[in-house]
Each structure stands twice: as C-alpha cells, then as structure tokens.
Amino acid sequence: MARLWNFSAGPSALPESVLQQAAQEMLDWNGSGMSVMEMSHRGPEFTRICDEAEDDLRELLGIGDEFAVLFMQGGATAENAIVPMNLIGLRDGHKADFVLSGIWSRKSATEARKYGDVSVVASSESELNQDGRTWQPWAWFPAVDQWQVRPDASFLHICSNETIGGVEFMDWPDARRMRALGAGDVELVVDASSHFLSRSMPLDRVGMLYAGAQKNAGPAGVTIVVVRRDLLGHALPICPSAFDYANVAKERSRFNTPPAYSIYIAGLVFKWLLKQGGLDAIEKVNQEKSRRLYQFFDRSDFYQLPVHPQFRSRMNVPFFLPDTTLDGIFLDGARERGLAQLKGHKSVGGMRASIYNAMPLEGVMALIEYLESFERTHG
Ligand code: PMP
C-alpha cells in the first residue's frame, strides 16, 4: 500500500499512527467488544472517550475552566449561524461587527445578517498599494488600528486563517486595545478552522473560538467550540435547542447524539499531538516546513506567490504557475510522484499546498524537489 503526500485543504491528511490505531480498534474498542460506532453515546465507554478528548484538548490549548469546550455538528458553516444566534443577544442592539479578510469571513458576515445588525468594520476586498507593489484583494489583512468597531457591538468576528487566500493573522487585539479602537465590551470571536492546533493561541483575548475539525483536528463531522462560560445563556428564542451553547455545555457535548466517531478520531489526534510535545513542538515543525517552502518560492522567478509576506499562512500556501496552460501538466506530474490534491480552490485557480500538522517535513521536501524539477523543465 502506498500512501500519497496529501496536500488537501480539508478534509486532509491525518497522522498515519492515528489511522492505524483506529483500524486496530475498529471491531473492538479497548476490550469492549464493540466498535466506537456501535456504542451508546451515554454509556461508560463513550463517556470516557469524549471526556478524555475534552481533557486532552484543554491540556493542548491551555483552556481554563472559565471556558466551555463543545463538540458540535454542522461544520464551521453552520457555526456562522449558530454564533450570532448565541451571542448577538449579549447586548440590546443585536449588533455584530466583522473584519473581512477573504471568502470565509465574508460568508460568516453574510450569514449573520439574518440574525441582527451587521457591520463590516474593515475589509481587504480591495487592492492594497504598499512598498511599490499592489496586493490583490484578499491577499492581505486589514491593520487593527483601522478597524472601526462599534461601541455597542456584541461581538467582533475575525477569521484568523483564510484557507482559500492563504492569509494568516495572529495579531488578535486584547480588550484594552479593542477599547482604544472605540469598542465597548465587545467579545472577539475567531474562526480558527484551518490553523487550529497548528500553534498556541491567545485564548485570553477571545470570547469564543471555533474550528471545523477536518484540517488539523480530525475528520469532518465535528466542530470544536471554545466559549467563555459567562457568555452562555443569551441565545435568541429562535435558536434550535441542539445549537444553544448553554444546553450543549450543560450536557458536556451530549445534549443529543454527538458525532461520536469523529470525536473519537479527534481524541486520538489530540493524544498524538501531546505525544509530539504539544502545540509548541508542532508549531516549530510547522514553522520549519513553511519556512522551507516560502524560501524556495522566494528564490524562484517562475512561481508567483499572491499573499503579502506579513500574512503568509503557515498552513495554506497558494501559488501560481507563470501560465495556466501548465496547470494540468503540473498536476499530472505531481500525481505521478505521489503528490496529491495540489489544485487551488476553484474560485481563485492556481495551486495550493496545504501543509497541516500531519504533513511531515519530508513531504514538504518532496514537494520542493518536484517544484524545482518542474521549473527546470518548463522555466
Ligand atoms: N471557515 C474556514 C476558515 C474554512 O476553511 C472552512 C472550510 N474549508 C469553513 C469555514 C467552512 O467549513 P465547513 O465546510 O466545515 O462548514
């Protein structure tokens, strides 16, 4: 059996040892005589699996007891509705502010408009002229000091890693900085889907953070929500009870049947990460992988990188060939070498290498070797 170097943006590669363990435990989990898929979500076996997954995630991210950790369904797209239904009522005006930095944050804002008064406080959906260069829309991130946050907004939403654009943003403002921008007690809400668990994150600055699992955390089907407990209990009356954070928190993610198998695999991924040395250790690996890849591209006159260097994502690396007629040849050649799913998102074209936690440096080096040889042949 030959496994590919898988550069998919998600669902994406999982650690091989996790898949092997899941295969071994498929028919009989831990002597229970049952597959995890066959267990009652309220029985002692799954209770242990789910609670351990939560505990391990808390350890990885340093999540204190002031936060609830929820395993939910519907993906990050459903969260675009679930977040405002739970949090827009924190303040009377039902206002939510959004920073638009790409296709995912724009979708979040569009969905939220169904639930209240939405304002776009900054956007990169325009060109940026800086240092004698023009950066395309969605290839940069709006500077924090330009955000026009409303004083009475309930929350401010950002997407900290735009998976399609390849833009990563870590300069999350704390409460003091937010007040200097004119904000009141606004809660920062972060869609961290595509770089979740790739690095440590300043949770003390957020009211809530969410991530679809299918990049770094596990298979599709479970959405991870980290929300401060004092924000619970403000859901709009229209909020479905299964999506009310207060209900889900009270029942420790078992208000109704949760995506049990996805939670189990995510739990194995959390244990794998702890064994690697936690988020500081994996962050170093991710730094090195992305450094090598960007360094290669920076030295090449053949490939073009769209993203402003300050905001280059460590996880999703979009790049373009000099001529779109080469795209098919490039992808075929990649596939022959076992390098898979490098095609860029259909809305932007080009290529994209997603190099999540489960992609080792060796896979990135195999990609660089191919990029070099393709450039020699076609440059
Ligand atoms: N936000 C981001 C940053 C994403 O990358 C994605 C999916 N790629 C989504 C939201 C939507 O996630 P889902 O498909 O799980 O609804």
Any known ligand binding at 42? yes
The whole-angstrom separation of Cα 9 and Cα 354 is 5
pLDDT for 170 equals 98
Structural domains of the chain in order of their starting residue, each with its CATH number: 22-275 (3.40.640.10), 278-378 (3.90.1150.10)
- Please list, in sequence order, all residues whose beta carbon lies within 8 angstroms of the beta carbon of residue 263, skipping any fewer than 6 positions away: 49, 50, 53, 71, 218, 222, 253
pLDDT tens across 257-306, in order? 999 999 999 999 999 999 999 999 999 999 999 999 999 999 999 999 99
Cβ partners under 8 Å of residue 144, min gap 6: 171, 173, 177, 181
Residues of the chain with pLDDT under 50: none
Measured distance CA(83)–CA(115) in Å, rounded: 10
Q: Best substitution site from 77, 101, 161 to test ligand 1's pocket, by max atoms within 8 Å of Cβ? A: 77
Identify the residue whose C-alpha is closest to ligand 1 atom 1. 104
CA distances from 105 to 93, 97, 131, 140, 340 (A): 22, 11, 26, 13, 27
Residue nearest to atom 10 of ligand 1 (CA): 76
Cα Rg, the chain, nearest whole Å: 21
Residue 77 CA: nearest ligand 1 atom is 16
Is 104 considered catalytic here?
Answer: yes
Q: Which position among 135, 191, 244, 271 bears the catalytic label?
A: 191
CA 88 to chain centre: 22
Contact in structure between 153 and 135 (CB atoms under 8 Å): no
Whether residue 114 lies in the annotated active site: no
Helix and strand counts by DSSP (H, E) for the chain: 10, 15
**Residue 65 appears among annotated catalytic residues:** no
Terminal CA-CA length for the chain: 34
How many whole angstroms from 71 Cα to the centroid of ligand 1? 16
Among residues 95, 215, 271, 343, the one annotated as catalytic is 215
The alpha-helical segments, DSSP class H, found in 277-378 are: 278-299, 327-336, 361-378
Give which of 161, 163, 159, 146 is closest to 100, Cα–Cα: 159
Measured CA distances, 333 to 293, 336, 340 (Å):
19, 5, 10
Pocket residues: Cβ below 6 A from ligand 1 = 10, 75-77, 104, 159, 163, 191, 193-194, 212
pLDDT value at residue 348: 95
Provide the β-strand partners of residue 343.
351
Choice among 29, 95, 97, 104 that is catalytic:
104
Rounded to 10 deg, the angle between the 44-61 and 278-299 helix axes is 60
Are 320 and 166 in contact by the 8 Å Cβ rule? The answer is no
What per-residue confidence (pLDDT) applies to 1?
64
- Of 194, 222, 224, 354, the one to substitute when testing ligand 1's pocket (max ligand atoms within 8 A of C-beta) is 194
Looking at the CA of residue 74, tell me the nearest atom of ligand 1: 16
Q: Are 202 and 171 in contact (CB under 8 A)?
A: no
| Torsion, Cα of 270, 275, 281, 287 (10° steps) | -60
Q: Show the tokens assigned to 152.
A: 């009475």
Task: Name the residue with tokens 């191919």.
Answer: 370
Q: How many Cα atoms within 13 Å fall on the side-chain side of residue 2?
A: 8
d(CA 299, ligand 1 centre) in Å:
32
Work out the angle at residue 48's Cα, subtended by the Cα atoms of residues 43 and 52, and round it to the nearest 5 degrees: 150
Atom of ligand 1 nearest to the CA of 75: 15
**Contacts of residue 93, Cβ cutoff 8 Å, sequence gap at least 6:** 116, 117, 152, 153, 154
214 is in an annotated binding site: yes
Ligand 1 center to 1 CA (angstroms)? 31
Extract long-range pairs of 232-236: CB within 8 Å, 24+ residues apart. 232/68, 232/86, 234/86, 234/87, 234/89, 234/90, 235/85, 235/86, 235/89, 236/84, 236/85, 236/86, 236/88, 236/89, 236/115
Protein residue with its CA nearest to atom 5 in ligand 1: 163
Residue 77 annotated in ligand binding: yes
Please check if 30 is assigned to a binding site: no
- Find out whether 227 and 68 touch, Cβ atoms under 8 Å: yes
Ligand 1 mean position, distance from CA 212 (Å): 6
Alpha carbon of 375 to ligand 1 centroid (Å): 32
